[in-house]
Structure 1
Amino acid sequence: MSNTITQSLAEPVLRPRATRLRLVRQRTRTAWFFLLPMLVVLAAVAGWPLLRTIWFSFTDANLGNLTDYSFIGIENYLLYEDGMWYGVLADRLWWRAVWNTLFFTVVSVSAETFLGIIVALTLNAKFRGRALVRAAILIPWAIPTIVSARMWGWMLHDQFGILNDIFMTLGFISEPLAWTADPSLSMWAVIMVDVWKTTPFMTLLTLAALQMLPSDCYEAAKVDGIHPVRVFFKVTLPLIAPALMVAVIFRVLDALRVFDLIFVLTSNSSDTMSMSVYARQQLVEFQDVGYGSAASTLLFLVIALCTIAYLYLGRKRMGGY
């Protein structure tokens, strides 16, 4: 009798739980059903070329003949022969490209994040002509990178560039500067152009996060007489941190694989060469598909590690869920 009563009391609890589990499984199946076409297209468009690049990195393939090649193991990555180290990992130019890429990423993304927050806070305030300013601020981001790089290349020209003319007129410099040819200026010139172009992207995502913030916190802070700077660091910044983190990781991943901007402005200069420019030089100019594929694979691993680190930190921030 007692077992019957216990079973009858447990049924109302077990049934809803079983129903919830069934609904979760149905939603999971439905999600995978909708994701499957995208995954198939992604595997065909990105997966196959990636696997082919990784395979070529273990061969001696060259651009002149992609059918007659042999497997050479990790020689393109690292090889010790006749008392010397060879391969991508032993090439000083590769490590110079790695340093240039990391320096470019850290400086440009930091500047874009800082400026993006300031511009977003300005655009979030109410003033006349705000809609027009919001539209105008997106123009640099809307211009294709090749077009903006070529445009800035003309402006930074050491003889005919308008930037030198303006600075000389204002008395900031006494003679024209070779912005993209001088080793001490070329990287900063590239960073300046990238910040000009990509700050609107950071502004857009930050502004979207600011638009979704509740007004109750700010009204309470205003009543309590809290200084706006303190309100920003104690209220605004923590609330927009998740959106800001997404924007930063997108920009970091984009900056790590930068190619077009640097190549158009400075070509193959070792002072600004990125990992992508290095891989392109080996693949196209030196026609060494195996060696260039090894450099491309290493670049992929760097980006993959950054993505995994972001996912780990994001999951840890969410409490492990």
Structure 2
Amino acid sequence: MRLVAPAVVVMLIVTAWPMIQALYLSLFKYRLTTPDEKEFVGIGNYTSILTDGLFWKDTVNTVIIMVVTVAIELVIGFVFAMVMHRVIFARGVIRTSILIPYGIITVVSAFAWQFTFSLSNGWVNSWFDWLPGIAADTNWFGDHWPAMFAIMVSEIWKTTPFMSLLLLAGLSQVSEDMIEAAKVDGATWWQRLWKVVLPNMRAAIMVAVLFRALDAFRIFDNIFVMTRGAQDTESSSFLTYRQVIEQFQLGLGSALSVLLFLTVLLLAFLIVRLFRVDLAQARGES
């Protein structure tokens, strides 16, 4: 404990001080361009935010992005994890290929997908014009839902490998003896999956969903690069960015960041409660 105490103290200072400062500033009407007009308003900033329709619209956007992307990533990530776990030949090449997207910087990935969905020189329209609703002149960034779709596709492509990596770690902990015993008892592949594999992966699934949900709820880079919030595609993090960086509203921006932090804590609590995983038992402790 003595050896790690200095590092713990430094981490607490680095993380706690900005949080305390944000909480303090959130109680003031404070604009950076007029620092002399700083005024204490108590919970006034929070009241203004919670009664503003834009805040709730951006929150809904954020929740939609989080739920859709995490659900799809969980399914695709599990398939990738199964492939990486079962493959015999060229295992290293296959695992590296699957994990490549996660190694690309998010901003670079977002620019690539912005180009992909571009009306003038993107390839999505020309490749998929045989699908209903897609034509050569489809403007993906000209309306709300197409733009949201493009953002979610870029997010799924970028972070599914991370989900598969976490699920692979959980899959490797499932006892092969239990699977073989179920096979001897006549269980089909689906029965082995639902009755043996997934129940024994609950802890890994919870960790994967928790990490990705919290990360997806703070989505910013993809929206900043691909739409800059146009077509009502703002997220909660992007709204905070606009208040602080573009409008210099440190009071409102700090209140938004505090609300975002509290929402993330609540989300983490709900996910842990939903899975009801005994982490001590999952680690093999008594």
Is the pair's TM-score, using the shorter chain for normalization, greater than 0.5? yes
1:221 matched to 2:190: no
* Structure 1 letter corresponding to 2:25: F
> CA shift at 1:137, angstroms?
0.4
* Structure 1 letter corresponding to 2:93: L
Post-superposition Cα deviations, 1:299-319, rounded to whole Å, max 9, x if no partner, equal: 111011123334556777469
Q: Say if 1:312 and 1:61 are closer, same or farther in 2 by CA, change over 3 A.
A: same
Post-superposition Cα deviations, 1:130-180, rounded to whole Å, max 9, x if no partner, equal: 321111000101101011001111111111112222223x57633322223
2:165 corresponds in structure 1 to 204
Separation of aligned partners in 2, 1:305 and 1:246:
16
Match of 2:44, SS?
Answer: coil
From 254, 266, 272, the equivalent of 2:215 is: 254
Identity %: 37
1:99 matched to 2:60: yes
Number of equivalenced pairs: 281
8 Å CA contact 1:63–1:284 kept in 2: the answer is: no
**Structure of larger gyration radius:** 1
> CA shift at 1:45, angstroms?
1.8
> CA shift at 1:240, angstroms?
0.8
1:52 corresponds in structure 2 to 21
From 30, 48, 54, the equivalent of 1:61 is: 30
Q: Say if 1:34 and 1:309 are closer, same or farther in 2 by CA, change over 3 A.
A: farther
From 279, 300, 309, the equivalent of 2:240 is: 279
Separation of aligned partners in 2, 1:144 and 1:251:
17
> CA shift at 1:102, angstroms?
0.7
Structure 1 residues 7-26: aligned runs within 5 Å: none
> CA shift at 1:73, angstroms?
1.0
1:156 corresponds in structure 2 to 117
- 5+ long unaligned stretches in structure 1: 1-29, 79-86
Post-superposition Cα deviations, 1:38-63, rounded to whole Å, max 9, x if no partner, equal: 33222222211111111111111112
> CA shift at 1:64, angstroms?
2.1
From 252, 257, 261, the equivalent of 1:300 is: 261
Q: Say if 1:231 and 1:258 are closer, same or farther in 2 by CA, change over 3 A.
A: same
Separation of aligned partners in 2, 1:66 and 1:111:
46
Post-superposition Cα deviations, 1:10-60, rounded to whole Å, max 9, x if no partner, equal: xxxxxxxxxxxxxxxxxxxx3xx3442333222222211111111111111
1:166 corresponds in structure 2 to 127
8 Å CA contact 1:76–1:291 kept in 2: the answer is: yes
8 Å CA contact 2:183–2:192 kept in 1: the answer is: no
Q: Say if 1:96 and 1:72 are closer, same or farther in 2 by CA, change over 3 A.
A: same
Q: What TM-score results when the alignment is normalised by the length of structure 2?
A: 0.91
Runs in 1 of length 4+ with deviation above 6 angstroms? none
Greater relative contact order (CA < 8 Å, ≥ 6 in sequence): 2
8 Å CA contact 2:61–2:235 kept in 1: the answer is: yes
Q: What TM-score results when the alignment is normalised by the length of structure 1?
A: 0.81
Q: Say if 1:307 and 1:35 are closer, same or farther in 2 by CA, change over 3 A.
A: farther
8 Å CA contact 1:181–1:266 kept in 2: the answer is: no
CA RMSD across the alignment: 2.2
2:143 corresponds in structure 1 to 182
> CA shift at 1:184, angstroms?
2.4
8 Å CA contact 2:142–2:231 kept in 1: the answer is: no
Q: Say if 1:55 and 1:67 are closer, same or farther in 2 by CA, change over 3 A.
A: farther
* Structure 1 letter corresponding to 2:60: W
